[in-house]
Amino acid sequence: MSQNLSEQEIIRRDKLKALEAAGIQAYPAPLYPVTHYSEDIKSGFTEENKDDFADVTLAGRVMSINDKGKVFFIKIQDSKGIIQLYVKRDEICPEEDKTFWTLVIKGLDLGDFLGVKGFVFITKTGETSIHAKEITLLAKSLKPLPVVKRDESGHVFDAVSDPEFRYRQRYADLVINPDVKDTFIKRTKIINTIREYLNAQGALEVDTPVLQAIPGGAAARPFITHHNALDVPFYLRIANELYLKRLIVGGFDWVYEFSRNFRNEGMDRTHNPEFTVLEWYTAYKDYIWMMEITEQLMEKLAIAVHGTTEVPLGDKIISFKAPFKRISIFDAIKENTGIDISNMDEAGLREVCKELKIEVAPNIGKGKLIDEIFGETSEHTYTQPTFIIDYPVEMSPLTKKHRSKAGLVERFELMINGKEVANAYSELNDPVDQRERFEEQSKLMERGDDEAMFIDQDFLRALEYGMPPTSGIGIGIDRLVMMLTNQVSIQDVLLFPQMRPEKQD
């Protein structure tokens, strides 16, 4: 297939041909023994310890070139930052052969990868730099990077912000916008902190199936595929809940999984069809215990990322200091609308939706109606971490009935900055009650609710063997990372967010 090349791309390809003709490898063997990194050198070098930096080897991408004739000042970017190279022609090339200087150094393009060996010194302008004694071309860049503006210290002050470019070409976005890389480093730190916390509590990390015969554990529209060998339909998981509960039945006391889930639904600033959820289930615990442990974890995460429980998010400061506010879903709706819906039937709820100008589908039941009312009128009002508790039974097919409040279940959702971050239950472990709840969901499916739950007969069989009292939680990792890294879009915390296929010329 032919390529439509820009003038710059043609020039770079011509340089590549010239290198090949001269016998200079543009893509040599991969082993290059790096001994030091840019930021470690810049933070650790002094005149007193310069002997420790008399022989260093670095590698990185060329980000700026200053041609002074027989001397080049080149800035390269490695995985930790940017550092300047001082490259003098007579020290790099023998007098009788300037081919390398002409084709490699003078032929350098932004984006090329270089290896450098030399010693560290401080220039007359006070910049810690590498005096190059040997330069190796490690990879030729054939496509120009977008131009960004940097100050004298290398910090970007006019970043490329076009989301179409940034999300579709994340590899280039990471190179030219250093704050993007920092977000994903923090994401990994958040996940590692959670993992260390749970492991220290005695939890066991497990893996459960992504391809499932029945998409259970949540009310959501699944992606469907086909298993050729078995000749049956399979679903990408919408949740891993029912498999983790099977493990509680099997005798594990506390299991968790960072689950990659898929839901065939809308996309916006807080939704992506492929997303990461942490779920854990703990035997002999309830939702009150789960609220307390969740507060502890959130506080720990804020301190791990920011060193404090006060976290900036846009123009707000979110306090992750425990304890968090707790309010029932009915009281939350009443607090925000003045309407008490706690004793209303489906017809009454539809009238409330009409009064509040909330459009609802005719095929959804009581639970979905309450969910719509809360989502439209109340959810966005809870900026500081708040537990919305004690949901109606119709909204929670997998949750244990409340021990003292008829018609409710022991469930909470954690709201932060107006969005749900976690969902937790005292888990339903009565197999008879669970079967009846599944059958109610089946009736909703017959009415046309394509998010109603399937009946999972194998899970019911597992419950019939007996599951101890259990508490479980699901935490949306992507949304949590958004809030802890001050991002407004879920696409900014996903390395490769879902997008429409790119149109080809």
Measured distance CA(493)–CA(370) in Å, rounded: 31
DSSP character at residue 412: E
Give 10-residue mean pLDDT values along the chain (505 residues): 84 97 95 96 95 97 95 96 96 84 96 98 96 97 84 60 91 92 96 98 97 87 94 95 96 98 91 96 98 97 98 96 97 96 94 94 89 95 97 87 92 96 95 89 77 83 97 96 95 94 76
Measured distance CA(478)–CA(495) in Å, rounded: 11
What 3-state DSSP class applies to 26?
Answer: coil
pLDDT value of residue 152: 59
* Domain end residue (candidates: 124, 145, 166): 145
For the domain that residue 184 is a member of, what is the CATH number?
3.30.930.10
Same domain, 140 and 189: no
Same domain, 282 and 431: yes
For the domain that residue 68 is a member of, what is the CATH number?
2.40.50.140
Bridge partners (DSSP) listed for residue 415 = 386, 420
Is 259:208 a contact under the CB 8 Å cutoff?
yes
pLDDT value of residue 454: 78
Residue 282 lies in a domain: yes
Query: E strands, 105-215, where?
Result: 113-122, 128-139, 149-150, 156-158, 204-205, 211-212
Give the H or E element holding residue 65: strand 56-67
pTM value is 0.89
Same domain, 306 and 418: yes
Same domain, 205 and 296: yes
Residue 366 lies in a domain: no
Same domain, 212 and 89: no
CB hemisphere CA count around 479 (13 angstroms):
20
The tally of domains found in the chain comes to 2
Residue 346 lies in a domain: no
* Domain end residue (candidates: 95, 123, 145): 145
Same domain, 307 and 389: yes
Same domain, 190 and 266: yes
Same domain, 187 and 294: yes
Q: At what angle do helices 329-337 and 366-377 cross, to 10 degrees?
A: 50
Enumerate residues 6+ apart whose C-beta is below 8 A from 318.
310, 311, 312, 383, 384, 385, 416, 417, 483
Same domain, 199 and 300: yes
Residue 489 lies in a domain: yes
The annotated binding site is made up of 413, 420
Residue 338 lies in a domain: no
pLDDT value of residue 93: 87
Burial of 182 (0-12, 13-18, 19+ CB in 10 A): exposed
Residue 378 lies in a domain: no
Same domain, 125 and 185: no
What 3-state DSSP class applies to 89?
Answer: helix
pLDDT value of residue 458: 94
pLDDT value of residue 153: 58
Measured distance CA(453)–CA(493) in Å, rounded: 29
Same domain, 203 and 89: no
Same domain, 106 and 222: no
- Domain enclosing residue 242, as ranges: 180-324+384-493
Is 91:48 a contact under the CB 8 Å cutoff?
no
The annotated binding site for Mg(2+) is made up of 413, 420
Residue 168 lies in a domain: no
What 3-state DSSP class applies to 388?
Answer: strand
Q: How many helices (H) and strands (E) does the chain have?
A: 15, 20
How do 254-262 and 274-283 pair as beta strands? antiparallel
* Domain end residue (candidates: 120, 145, 170): 145
pLDDT value of residue 505: 60
DSSP character at residue 102: I
Q: At what angle do helices 457-465 and 241-249 cross, to 10 degrees?
A: 30
Residue 76 lies in a domain: yes
Q: Which of 5, 343, 304 is nearest to 143 (CA)?
A: 5
